[in-house]
Amino acid sequence: MINNPYLNIGTEASTGCIILDRPKALNALSLDMCDALATALRAWADDPAIDRVIISATPGRAFCAGGDVRAIAPDIRADIAAGDAYFLTEYQLDLLIHLFPKPVVVVANGLTMGGGAGVLLNASHPVITTAMDFAMPETAIGLFPDVGASIFLRKAPPAVAAFLGMTGWRIGAGDMAHYGIAPRVIDADSHDALIRAVINTPDTGGIDAVLDGFRCEVDEKPLVDAEEWITRHFSKPDPVSIRAGLEGDDHPMAEKTRHALDTRCPLSIAVAHRLLTDPQMEPATIVDAIRQDYALALRMIRHPDFVEGVRALLIDKDNAPAWQPASLSGVTGAMVEAIVTPEDAPVLAIPEASVSTKGKA
């Protein structure tokens, strides 16, 4: 149907099946992969023989570690249009998944970050396993928590959402389920059986019952256990005061949190804080969230921090980015405003296959 070396795309019974198969890159989404995913979904949207879609990944460490920003950063140096094209394609894929007129079951096992979270959490039926390792790490590379994070991270209390978005903290299935980010958790050993059960379900009306039949509880919730501490610090009004309050704190999470705030992109941290705490930036719908992300992303990739962050973390791997500005105290309100209130930003178009979708926002 669609030829991409990193995707296994096919059909079984009335199910469209997509398997991410790029394990050496932790299934990071390239531009071509996003295009192929979207092409398959558009074909199935109009195919009366297909009444559901399942997206999963080959066995390994990751479901999807995010967008393949390492591949596009050198192109952006030469031509910013390459970055525009990538984020347009990625965000339109997220919208296509969210607005798809048939059930989309995404089963995520292992590392799931950034763009991988966009595929998972914008689906009608996201399922995570007990092996989930989730993060929104964009502040490490000069970006911000995107792909609808201003909706799904805000399901947690405001301070917790800010903490996750600013620090890129990794959490497991117990915390994700507790905060409603991904409520359906299954045992990792049930991954293949659940997929088989969804394929074999005669009617799509029975999918919810099938998924709930595999559901399990996870007792470990370290983020929930630390919520009082997180709230005490991350309820402060700005990143500078948050960082100052952490000085000298001896909580088990304090040192790692200080390190994150000291080493990640200061402008990105400030933008993430604004995105996840300002009521005026809370979108009403996922469509609004992803459109907002698109406007912000076009500004962020034009700032030198993005290419520098990708260079330092993913290409040269020297972990010594030269951020501009170099510290949280150097970030001005005007700098943040220039990102979060872009003038004349293009509006992300709704993908064609989703235009007729009813009842979703």
Q: Which two tokens stand for residue 7?
A: 């995707």
Whether 207 contacts 216, CB under 8 Å:
no
To the nearest 10 degrees (0 to 180), the angle between helices 81-99 and 69-78 is: 140
Count of CB atoms situated within 10 Å of the CB of 286: 22
Identify residue 234 by its one-letter amino acid code: F
Question: Are the C-beta atoms of residues 133 and 111 closer than 8 Å to each other?
Answer: yes
Q: Which residue out of 16, 66, 67, 165 is catalytically annotated?
A: 67
Q: Measured between alpha carbons, how far is 147 from 294 in angstroms, rounded to an integer? A: 9
Q: Give the DSSP H/E element, type plus range, for residue 104.
A: strand 104-108
Question: Exactly one of 115, 118, 172, 309 is catalytic; which is it?
Answer: 115
115 carries an active-site annotation = yes
Type of residue numbered 211: L
- Within 8 A by CB and 6+ apart from 274, the residues are 281, 336, 340
Our answer to whether residue 146 is catalytic in this structure is yes
Whether 333 is catalytic is no
Please give the Cα distance from 166 to 276 (Å, whole number). 9
Longest Cα separation, the chain? 62
Q: Residue 220: CB partners within 8 Å, gap ≥ 6?
A: 172, 174
Choose, from 146, 175, 227, 293, the residue flagged as catalytic: 146
Euclidean distance between CA atoms 220 and 223, whole angstroms:
9
DSSP-assigned beta bridge partners for residue 29: 67
Structure tokens at 230: 């997180």
CA–CA gap between residue 278 and residue 284 (Å, rounded)? 13
State yes or no: is 168 an active-site residue: no
- With 0-12 / 13-18 / 19 or more C-beta atoms within 10 angstroms meaning exposed / middle / buried, residue 8 is middle
Q: Name the active-site residue from 90, 133, 138, 305.
A: 138
Known catalytic residues are: 67, 115, 138, 146
